[in-house]
Amino acid sequence: MSKDIVAAPFVQEMMKVTANLYRLGWDERNGGNISYLLREEEVGAYLNPNQVIRTIPMIFDATELAGRYFIVTGSGKYFKNVIDAPDVNLGIIRVADTGKSVELLWGFKDGGVPTSELPAHFMSHIERLKIDSDHRIIMHNHATNIIAMTFTHSLEEREFTRTLWQMCTECIVVFPEGVGILPWMVPGTDAIGMATAAKMREFRLVIWPHHGIFGAGSTMDEVFGLIETAEKAAEVYTLVQAQGGAQQTITDQQLQDLADAFCVTAKSGYLQVGVK
């Protein structure tokens, strides 16, 4: 337990990815948040789990996650500052047995608290763990071109997904299940958390129109890559529209051929071809 926790791989990942997200312009000011489910042995290698710094109440009942450990970004914290002051802008927490509070084990040195979106994160973690036992990451950011696309494109999930798939060859391979889309909702509420979690039963990417995107996965690279790929497709869409619109695109048959070649299954009913 004498190890420097800042050197822990999970802290280093949080430091690097938050810096990168800020550099890309997806997490301006205090926008965006990340929660990373940790294993007890990972935490125990650096911290004494019996030494609780303080208890932080929650309005959400996270009983299903009782005893689980997370490293999370802080409420009101700027991603650009994480790399220089991780112990101020990040916190390692454990969900209390009651599910009504979290126990701070490290970080938030200035008295800070976890992201205001923590209920949305916890609800999504709960749903994703039912589907994928390796699930660990929930990431929310304000990917620029995805947000822009929600102003100019139909928000019907099938049509939005098909457009993203058609913009970059790799998209159907990276997110063959497509993207989920909510109606506009006030962030930081149980309502948007529940709606996001419900979408997470089908999708690893959920778009909040005019706001941003949520991604889920088992590793930081997987989740960052999911969002990065969708954002690149949205950027291409933006450029295509600015150039006068598409004159040709990837056909449904070609998308099916891609899915077959990479052994993925496109969401049922999204392609107008017979499955081979």
| 125 marked as part of a ligand binding site | no
Rounded CA-CA distance 137/218 in Å is: 6
Series of mean pLDDT values for 10-residue runs along the chain (276 residues): 84 97 94 96 93 92 96 96 97 96 96 93 96 96 98 98 97 98 91 95 97 97 97 98 95 96 96 71
| 135 marked as part of a ligand binding site | no
**Looking at the annotation, which residues are catalytic?**
117
Q: Which domains does the chain have, with CATH numbers?
A: 1-115 (3.40.225.10), 117-270 (3.40.225.10)
Rounded CA-CA distance 119/98 in Å is: 15
Find out whether 128 and 68 touch, Cβ atoms under 8 Å: no
| 210 marked as part of a ligand binding site | no
Find out whether 172 and 259 touch, Cβ atoms under 8 Å: yes
What's this model's pTM, rounded to 2 decimal places? 0.93
Alpha carbon 228 to chain centroid distance? 11
